[in-house]
Amino acid sequence: MRRVPTASEALLWSRLRNRALGVHFRRQHPIGPVIVDFLCCSAALVVEVDGAVHSGERVLLDRIRDEALVSLGLRVIRVKAWVVERDIECVLRIIRAAL
């Protein structure tokens, strides 16, 4: 996943990279044992894009992972991949509000 992003991650990255929202984001950044989709260090904000695999048991694992990130002082936003692909502007508004 680090080398070949999903379509939704590639789309979101195209709108976050090069300080497009006024802050620096990193893509596929390791934090301890996990790799987050997007990280803005200055805002302590993690953005995770959840695809089809994020259902069932995976939801519980994501919740545990989010709690670990929050314990490090980070805020976590999760967005559905289909929302990124269908309404990127809505996702960007959510991220801007969190910044």
Instruction: Check residue 9 and give its pLDDT.
Output: 96
Instruction: Check residue 54 and give its pLDDT.
Output: 58
Instruction: Check residue 4 and give its pLDDT.
Output: 81
What is the value of pTM for the model shown?
0.91
Instruction: Check residue 59 and give its pLDDT.
Output: 83
Q: Please name the fold of domain 7-93.
A: Endonuclease; Chain A (3.40.960)
Nearest Cα to 82, choosing from 51, 48, 56, 54? 51
Instruction: Check residue 86 and give its pLDDT.
Output: 97
Q: What averages of pLDDT result for each successive group of 10 residues across the chain (99 residues)? A: 83 97 97 95 97 73 94 97 97 97
Domain extent listing, the chain: 7-93
| Angle between helices 7-16 and 88-98 in degrees, nearest 10 | 50
